[in-house]
Amino acid sequence: MMFNYRMYHCIGETRCLLRKDVIDTLYAALPPTTVKFSCELESIELDPLTTKPILRFIDGNTITTKGVIGCDGGKSILANFLNLKPTKMFTASTIRGLTNYPHGHPFDLEFTKFKKDGILVGRIPIDNNMVYWFCSQQHISKDEEIWKNPEVIRQHTIELLSNYPQEFQEMAQNADMNSLSFTHLRYRHPWELLTGTFFRGTVTVVGDAMHVMGPFLGQGGSAALEDAVVLARNMAQLGLNHAESGSKVIVHSVGKAFDQFVRQRRTRVVRLTLQAYLIGMLVTSSRLKKIIWIILLILLFPNQNSHVDYDCGDL
Ligand X SMILES: Cc1cc2nc3c(=O)[nH]c(=O)nc-3n(C[C@H](O)[C@H](O)[C@H](O)COP(=O)(O)OP(=O)(O)OC[C@H]3O[C@@H](n4cnc5c(N)ncnc54)[C@H](O)[C@@H]3O)c2cc1C
Q: Which residues bind ligand X (CB under 6 A)?
A: 40-41, 71-73, 77, 94, 96, 134, 183, 185, 207-209, 215, 218-222, 224
Contact 73, 209 (CB under 8 A): yes
* Nearer to ligand X among residue 76 and residue 253 (C-beta): 76
Contact 44, 58 (CB under 8 A): no
User: To the nearest whole angstrom, how small is the minimum distance from the Cβ of residue 215 to ligand X?
Assistant: 3
* Nearer to ligand X among residue 3 and residue 8 (C-beta): 8
List the beta bridge partners of residue 100: 130
* Nearer to ligand X among residue 223 and residue 238 (C-beta): 223
User: To the nearest whole angstrom, how small is the minimum distance from the Cβ of residue 134 to ligand X?
Assistant: 6
Kindly tell me the sign of the dihedral angle through the C-alpha atoms of 24, 28, 30, 36: positive
User: To the nearest whole angstrom, how small is the minimum distance from the Cβ of residue 95 to ligand X?
Assistant: 8
* Nearer to ligand X among residue 40 and residue 143 (C-beta): 40
SS3 content of the chain, % helix, strand, coil (to 5): 40, 20, 40
How many other C-beta atoms lie within 10 A of the C-beta of residue 140?
Answer: 11
**Separation CA 277–CA 38 (nearest Å):** 33
Note the Cα 146 to chain centre separation in Å: 22
* Nearer to ligand X among residue 180 and residue 238 (C-beta): 180
Contact 133, 97 (CB under 8 A): yes
Kindly tell me the sign of the dihedral angle through the C-alpha atoms of 135, 136, 139, 144: positive
User: To the nearest whole angstrom, how small is the minimum distance from the Cβ of residue 295 to ligand X?
Assistant: 26
User: To the nearest whole angstrom, how small is the minimum distance from the Cβ of residue 277 to ligand X?
Assistant: 14
Amino acid of residue 32: P
User: To the nearest whole angstrom, how small is the minimum distance from the Cβ of residue 246 to ligand X?
Assistant: 26
* Nearer to ligand X among residue 87 and residue 202 (C-beta): 87
* Nearer to ligand X among residue 201 and residue 218 (C-beta): 218
Helix and strand totals (H; E) in the chain? 9, 12
* Nearer to ligand X among residue 220 and residue 255 (C-beta): 220
**Separation CA 204–CA 309 (nearest Å):** 27
**Separation CA 195–CA 82 (nearest Å):** 13
HSE-up of residue 49 (Cα within 13 Å, Cβ side): 1
User: To the nearest whole angstrom, how small is the minimum distance from the Cβ of residue 70 to ligand X?
Assistant: 9
- Per the document, the length of the chain is 315
Number of residue whose CB is nearest ligand X: 207
User: To the nearest whole angstrom, how small is the minimum distance from the Cβ of residue 244 to ligand X?
Assistant: 28
